[in-house]
Structure formats: structure tokens, C-alpha cells
Amino acid sequence: MSSSSIKKPKVSEYTVTTVITSEPTTNSRMATTTVSSTSVPTSSQPRATFRDLCALFCCPPLPSSIVAKLAFMPPEPSYRILTSDTGRTSLELLENRTGSEWPHGQEELKSINVFFAKTSRRNKIACMFIKPIMPTRFTILFSHGNAVDIGQMCSFYVLLAYRLGCSVFAYDYSGYGQSTGRPSEKNLYADIAAALKALENRCQIPPERVILYGQSIGTVPSVDLASKNPRVAALILHSPLLSGMRVAFQGIQRTWCCDAFPSIEKIPRVSCPTLVIHGTEDDVVDFSHGVTIYEQCPTSVEPLWVAGAGHNDVEMHAAYLERLRAFIEGEVCSNSSSAAITSSTQISSREDKSEEEELQNNNKNSRSASR
């Protein structure tokens, strides 16, 4: 079934699978819960006044500089990319900065391919490619949160790759880890574009086999790319935000000219299957952001609302991997197969038309020669 044919229920009527307990566990009980529009948490923050907005965004610093200070918090690099005399690159994790010991074997660590990719804004971004031993159909292009780098996320990427049977391609934003430049909204968009280009040119993986995965601030470049490139296979939005100002002020109802990260304006242009994941007790990006993104995306599928989960612990619940696996093996594969059939039909039709035109031209030439 094509993603465009998905009939999406309203918030007041859909039924979703959630984790009953708020305690993260790998054996959480599962249940079906009806989420109504009245159950969406609302913040107690006061509505923003025009004076508040001007004070924060308009005078005297530029909005972009404010956004960089509020949204980007790059940690001390947790890894190094080493280059041998032969030009071969390898990953070195700095144990005192990754936050935990490497939980996998050395073979997994050695199998991680690391390299740099150039962006259109002249930065070099650090890239990481993890490919399981078994053959994989899809590759997840992962855009991480605002306070980590790919070294800290590395063990999670390996887990994700083997649990989901997908390759994982991750990268650091400009100014993060070993990437050059400074973090900014424009660089976010250039960074993910460079990552997709590296996947296609260096790893020989076409966009049709790429699943964009954005977490928190990473949903911003993921939505932007999905809205511009209809060829990508799917989109996963983990704790997405509507826009920068809507995070700062819960009362904002429109997108201002100085607003940053306006995903709410781009999500209606996404045409691939889209899975939205959000914790109901998220105190960083309110749960209502995820609900609105789900509602406004024309190709969103059944979402995952994790009851009791916050901003940084959704993946600790059993429902997380279960829903991801079901999404990839179900909606994504189904849509990919439908797209392949459509493409094959179009190619066949063009070939038939070309053969018909060639036959007509030959007939014309034959008649001309007989005269």
C-alpha cells in the first residue's frame, strides 16, 4: 500500500500501543490505550507576549546566534579518527568521555567505518558507517540530539543495527566531535545533505533504501531533507519539535519570521511513511509537539506514544524496538515494494512508447525509400 493512501485517524480517535509503567524496563507490560485530545499535556508556562519575543529574539543579538546558544551544546569530543600511513582511517573511543565502557566486542569496534565528508558550506563532518554481517535492505541515516556526539552514541548505533537488521550511518554536526565549523541551523541542513550524498556516492546506497531518523534537534534536518527529497524510503521522528520558539514559549500559535527550526512548516511536504515517537512526560520538548507533527504530516503512520517516558529514556522501553521493527518490516517494506512496482511500470511504459515511436519512424523511412 502506498504511503499516500494511508488514512490517518484524528488525535481524538486513534488507538496506540504504549508502555503502562513509567519505569524503563525491557519487560514492560504492553496495553492498548486510547489517547484523546484532552489528554495531551499542556504546559503551565504563560503565553508569550510580543515584548517577550522581541526581548529574546530581536534585540540586540541576531536570532541565529541566540539559537546556537540555546539549541547547540556540543560536548568535549569523545573519540578520535586516526589515519594510518596508508590513508586508512579508524575509530578511537576516549573511554573517559563516552560515559560508559564499550559494551560490544573489539570486532564490532573494528568493523565501524569512519571518514570525513565535505559539506556545501565548506565544513568537514565526521561520519560513521555500521554494517551488520547479515545482508541489509535499508540504511538508517541517524541525526542525534544536541548534547552528544557519535562517539557517545556509537554503542547504541551498533545495538540498533543488529536489533533491526539495518545498516546505520551517523554523522556529527558541524562543530561537534571531530567535525569542523560551528553549529548553526544552516549548517544542520548542509550537514545532512552531505551525509546523504556520502551514503550514495561512497557507500553506494541510493536514497530509496535510506530511512531518515532524527532525535530531538536531529528531527529538524531530517524533516528538512525529507520535505525536499521524495526518494527517501521513510522518516522516523523521535521527540520532534515544531519550531524553536514553540519550545521556548508554549503559547506560540504561528511561525514568526525570526523563528528557527520551523519543522511545522515543512512536515506537510513530506511524502514518505513517517513514524512519530514521543514520551508523554517529555519536559524538554512537550508531548503536544509530537502530536501536532503527527497530525500535520500527510503520510504519518500509527505513532508510538510511550506513557511516562521523558525526553531521554524512550528507547529504554520495550515498545521502542518493537515499533521500529514493525515499522521497517511493515509500512516501509510495503511502501518500498509499491514504489518499485510503480517505477517498473513507468519504465516499461516508456520503453513500449519508445519502441512504438521507433517502429513508426522505420515505417516512414520505408515508405519514403519506396517512392
Mean pLDDT calculated for residue range 81-101? 85
Among this protein's residues, is 65 annotated catalytic? no
Out of 191, 259, 282, 286, which one is annotated catalytic?
Answer: 282
Mean pLDDT is lowest, of 37-51, 208-222, 326-340, for: 37-51
**Percent of the chain predicted with pLDDT > 70:** 68
Residue-wise pLDDT for 272-284, tens only, equals: 999 999 999 999 9
**Percent of the chain predicted with pLDDT > 90:** 60
pLDDT at 336: 84
Whether pLDDT at 21 is above 90: no
Out of 167, 216, 222, 288, which one is annotated catalytic?
Answer: 216
Q: Beta 79-83 vs 113-118: how paired, if at all?
A: unpaired
Whether pLDDT at 79 is above 60: yes
Mean pLDDT of the chain: 81
User: What pTM, to 2 d.p., does this model score?
Assistant: 0.78
Whether pLDDT at 141 is above 80: yes
Q: Is the dihedral of CA 347, 207, 204, 140 positive or negative?
A: negative
Is 172 within 8 Å of 126 (Cβ atoms)? yes
Domain ranges of the chain: 3-34+47-345
Instruction: Name the band, by pLDDT with cuts 50, 70 and 90, for residue 158.
Output: very high
- Cell numbers at residue 47, please? 503565553
pLDDT at 107: 76
Among this protein's residues, is 282 annotated catalytic? yes
Out of 259, 311, 317, 336, which one is annotated catalytic?
Answer: 311
Residue-wise pLDDT for 328-366, tens only, equals: 999 999 998 776 555 544 545 555 566 666 656 666 665
Q: How far is CA 31 from CA 20, 41, 126, in A?
A: 7, 20, 41
What's 300's DSSP letter? B
Residue-wise pLDDT for 290-336, tens only, equals: 999 999 999 999 999 999 999 999 999 999 999 999 999 999 999 98
The CATH architecture assigned to 3-34+47-345 reads: 3-Layer(aba) Sandwich (3.40)
Among this protein's residues, is 104 annotated catalytic? no
DSSP letters spanning 258-275: T-S--HHHHGGG--S-EE
